[in-house]
A = this chain, B = another copy of it.
Amino acid sequence: METSKRGSAQRFERGSPRVLVAGATGFAGALAAHLLWRHPRFELAGVTGRSDVGARLDELYPRYRVPLRVEELDEDALEDVDAAVVAYPHAAAAPTVGALLHRGARVVDLSADFRLSELETYERWYGAHPRPELLDRAVYGLTELHRERIADAAIVANPGCYPTASVLALAPLARAGLLADVVVDAKQGVSGAGRTASVDTTHLSYTGENIIPYNVAAHRHTPEIEEQLGLLAPATGKGGETGFRPVQFQAHLVPLDQGEMASCYVTPTRAVAAEELVGLFASAYEHEPFVEVVDAPPGVREVRETNFCRIFAATDAHTGKLLVFSAIDNLWKGTSSQAVQDLNVMYGYPETEGLL
């Protein structure tokens, strides 16, 4: 593969922050590298991997056209890195995040290691946490909810893709104290299963022409959704309890590559009229550059390969429930472009820089 023309030069300005992508051989890291490579304000300092060391990233991901070689991560040689996107699995991520922090870099971590504030919750779902002492330094990276704290954070815990779609869908209702009972039925393309090939989750002969529920009654993204919604819910009980009930979250694999739809069915705490519902969403997101509130059900193609989240909310007069449909690209807003959105916030750039 020759050096692609497009990749022959980065576009960044002199003096731009240098950002490393650790774990660039997986889907999330590779896309982060692609987005940073073409970003006008960041310099892609390098790409590292735990596999494929020595390969060119544009051999592994020809369409991303990043002509850098995958290196081994040398934690002792990180002096000139200002920031990093860490794209490791949970538990593997935290030690590397710690080493990067130690070298003075700010980190956007794509794993689950810093998404949950309670160590106990983390350990119930993921096992032992390798660096629990760092939990306090992390801010949850859903930009629309925690923009101000992200600006100064040492660690930004990039949200899971399902929590991104679900929390953006439910936040206006959570803030208004309307969530009595919540079912989230989510559907996602195969890229959510990552690059590792598997007969059961990625083989076209299995996933094609199929619809498959998975992780029934046990998805790790559930506590993350519940924590974020809980933070938004108004205190109702004594002692500040929100009285928030558990979320029923269920994921499905459907035959496409990138795209995710969270269909949310909410029993409200009180009757809600259509106009009120529309108003809640309009006011919640009118100034958000990446949340599009629309008046018809969105398809995930409308947001493919973008950082947009497109949301449609409706009341059902028959059942009294509120319905909210939230569409994102699981690899972009659900993962890597959201990381770049956060980096823009962390360095004071316009939030949309490099993302439109």
Binding site for B on A (CB under 8 A): 1-2, 4-6, 27, 38, 62-63, 181, 183, 185, 187, 189-191, 195-199, 202-214, 216-217, 222, 245-248, 250, 252, 254-261, 263, 265, 267, 288-290, 292-306, 308, 312, 314-319, 321, 323, 325, 327, 356
Structural contact, A297 and B208, CB atoms closer than 8 A: no
State the CA gap A1–B293 with chains docked (Å): 8
Contacts of A1 in B (CB 8 A): 294-296
State the CA gap A40–B327 with chains docked (Å): 29
Structural contact, B202 and A205, CB atoms closer than 8 A: yes
Structural contact, A299 and B211, CB atoms closer than 8 A: yes
Contacts of A208 in B (CB 8 A): 190, 204, 208-209, 255-257
CB distance from A142 to the nearest CB of B (A): 18
Instruction: Please pick, from B217, B265, B301, the residue contacting A318 in the complex, using a CB distance under 8 A.
Output: B217
**A/B interface sample: 28 pairs, CB < 8 A:** A4-B308, A5-B288, A62-B294, A187-B211, A187-B252, A187-B254, A189-B205, A190-B205, A196-B199, A202-B202, A202-B205, A204-B204, A204-B255, A206-B299, A209-B304, A210-B259, A211-B261, A211-B300, A213-B325, A214-B297, A222-B318, A245-B319, A248-B323, A252-B263, A254-B255, A254-B256, A255-B255, A265-B265
Besides A1-B296, A189-B209, 15 more A-B contacts (Cβ < 8 Å) are A5-B292, A187-B211, A202-B204, A208-B255, A208-B256, A209-B259, A213-B297, A213-B325, A216-B323, A217-B315, A245-B319, A248-B316, A248-B319, A248-B321, A252-B263
